[in-house]
Structure 1
Amino acid sequence: MNIHEYQAKSLLKKYGAAVLGGGVAYTPAEAVDAAKALGGPVWVVKAQIHAGGRGKGGGVKVVKSIQEVEDCARNMLGMQLVTHQTGPEGKEVRRVYIEDGCAIDKELYLSILVDRASGRPAIIASTEGGMDIEEVAAKTPEKIHTITIDPATGLMPHHQRRVAFSLGLSGDALKKTMKVVKALYDAFIDLDASLLEVNPLVVTKDNDVVVLDAKMSFDGNALFRHADVRELRDESEEDEMELRAAKHELNYIRLDGSIGCMVNGAGLAMATMDIIKLKGGEPANFLDVGGGAPKSV
């Protein structure tokens, strides 16, 4: 399950991560109220959709007046925002986030995920923040640093220092980054997240370290333990067919092909899709009906 940026920041703030002030708005009038509450003189208007690359698609605007906040909110709300992660159809913007501006000195990248190779949580850090991490990995892989964490010991101070050093930080910025790493890791573990990405993590000209953008995904099988996280679900951002299937306890994922699959068992479903690809076809979906259907069905 994915959540919006402003929701992720609200969760991370509870764990001690530094975030800027902000407010969510569903109408231009609410955007104006949020901007006035923040005070300015610089605001950032951000479209809230479950996809990255919003800035390149026109979904992030820096403004310097209340009137500009209102105009940007009016233009964004209801638009089909197209990014490299939405596909050509885009996603409808139903809410915007009005956030304080800040004077950025450095943009960094920081994420935590489950490393399948080691079976451990891994912290990914890079000095190339604000960019697509896939592009960085393809062109300059030496700028990406991976630190795996043994679940038996958890995050240790030497892990925090390694992350901060890999980002080229020193002094107060290093100490503040170590605290941010601790906050993010605690949130990742406590909330059963599958991905926590901060891009960018910024060092301001005042030497503060701030989570400027945040993306979080959660293990759906663990949501029964987290009612507060489950309440953050926005079904309007999810695929309609996948939602319908979930209501019938079916494991369905829409794909781009033309050959429909209905298979009894996840392993057989994966093998069926592999065979289709091997023979030059493209599956239209993954569908596991549960592995327990009787032969009479």
Structure 2
Amino acid sequence: MLSSAPNFLRRSSSIHLPHPPPPATRTFRSLHVHKYISMEIMNQHGITTPRNFVAKTPEEAEHIFTTMLNKPSQPLKDVVIKAQVLSGGRGLGTFKNGFKGGVHMITRPGQAMEFASQMLGQELVTKQAPHGILCQKVLLMERMYMRNEMYLSIIMDRNANGPLLIGSPRGGISIEDVAILTPELIYTQPIDISVGLQRDQAEQMAINIGLESGSAQQERAVSLMMNLYDMFLGCDCTSLEVNPLAETPDGKIVCCDSKVNFDDTAEYRQKSI
């Protein structure tokens, strides 16, 4: 059957979803992918993400920092390096070699090689992975400066009998924490899968998450939501979460971080994932 409502929705007394329909016959299972793969897929669907590259060696990581995400003749830009392991809580994790944290900021030459050498080939221990997961790749991504941090997700939900669009003006923190502290700031919009996400629904959600009606930012967010929905259906996603969805100082709307789960029973349709 379809996935049930997330825990944060069920726990939130101020959020009311439609009564559950009779159980569907299909069972959804989730396939997890690394961050760099989900960002590649987003880019293919016209969704803006920070510039990012994957490295398999410390030398490759340093090359990416100094020549691909920076230019020799320009001031250095900060870059984030992230261990590519399938686990949450990487930033608070510890590698078995004693190196702390699977997420670090790179601000000067030499750091990319230094951090990557501590991560690659090592096992990262997190709350979700207490026995450790081997890190074989690192993601280097340009640092984003954000005016606003918002939240968006689309899930396949049994209570809504189909896709459910979820948004909040409070991004950058756990949506479960938002549900506990300010549940009134979580907005939901059931989507009729027979007609898809409608423009007026996306326009209202853009307003709900804090963007001004009629603004260029609202229009960009609407376009992004329509592309997210196309990706959700086209890639057989079971959940697609963007947190944070950022408004930059120059008015761009950027998916800074994401979690994407795919229905592994649709593997025969998704050979590239």
| TM-score class, shorter | 0.7 to 0.9
Q: Give the equivalent residue in structure 1 for 2:17.
A: none
Cα distance between partner residues in 1 of 2:125 and 2:245: 24
Q: Which amino acid in structure 1 is aligned with residue 82 of structure 2?
A: K
Structure 1 unaligned regions, length at least 5: 230-297
Aligned to 1:103: 145
Alignment of 1:5-44 (within 5 A): 5-35=35-65, 36-39=67-70, 40-44=76-80
1:49 aligned residue (85, 102, 105): 85
Q: State the distance in 2 between where 1:137 and 1:220 align.
A: 29
Matched, 1:174 2:218: yes
Q: Deviations over 1:250-291 (max 9, x none)?
A: xxxxxxxxxxxxxxxxxxxxxxxxxxxxxxxxxxxxxxxxxx
Measure, in 2, the Cα distance between the counterparts of 1:81 and 1:105: 32
Q: Contact between 1:197 and 1:216, CA under 8 Å: does it hold in 2?
A: yes
Deviation of the 1:82 alpha carbon: 3.4
Alignment of 1:77-96 (within 5 A): 77-84=120-127, 86-96=128-138
Within-5 A mapping of 1:181-260: 181-229=225-273
The residue number in structure 2 matching 1:253 is none
Separation (CA, whole Å) in 2 of partners of 1:172 and 1:56: 37
Report 1:139-158 matches (<5 A). Answer: 139-158=181-200
Q: Contact 1:22 / 1:34 at 8 angstroms: preserved in 2?
A: no
Paired AA for residue 108 in structure 1: M
2:115 is the alignment partner of 1:72 = yes
Contact 1:76 1:93 in 2 (8 A): yes
Alignment-derived partner of residue 280 in structure 1: none
Partner of 2:20: none
Q: For 1:56, give the aligned amino acid.
A: L
The equivalent of 2:165 in structure 1 is 123
CA contact (8 A) 2:237 2:263 kept: yes
Distance in 2 separating the partners of 1:154 and 1:224: 23
**SS of corresponding position for 2:272:** helix
Question: What is the rounded CA distance, in whole Å, between the counterparts of 2:109 and 2:55 in structure 1?
Answer: 14
Deviation at 1:45? Answer: 0.5
Sort the Cα spacing of 1:25 and 1:140 in 2 relative to 1 into closer, same or farther, 3 A. Answer: same
Maintained 8 Å contact 1:81/1:90: yes
What residue is the counterpart of 2:105 in the other structure? 62
Mark the CA change 1:53 to 1:107 in structure 2 (over 3 Å): closer, same or farther. farther
Q: How far has the Cα of 1:63 moved from its partner?
A: 1.6
User: 1:81 is matched by which residue type in structure 2?
Assistant: L
Shift of 1:107: 1.4
By how many angstroms is 1:204 displaced?
A: 1.1
Query: What pairs up with 1:268-283 in 2 under 5 angstroms?
Result: none
Q: Secondary structure at 2:244's aligned position in 1?
A: strand
Give the percent of matched residue pairs that are identical in Structure 1 and Structure 2: 35
Q: Secondary structure at the match of 1:50?
A: coil
Identify the residue that residue 264 of structure 1 maps to in structure 2: none
Q: Which segment drifts farther, 56-65 or 125-134? A: 56-65
In terms of fraction of residues, the more helix-rich structure is: 1
Is the 2:149–2:172 contact (alpha carbons within 8 Å) kept by the matching residues of 1? yes
Q: Give the letter aligned to residue 37 of structure 1.
A: M
Kept in 1: contact 2:144–2:256 (CA 8 A)? no
Shift in alpha-carbon separation, 1:55–1:202, aligned structure 2, 3 A: farther
- d(CA) in 2 for partners of 1:34 and 1:81? 23
Shift of 1:218: 0.8
Aligned residues: 228
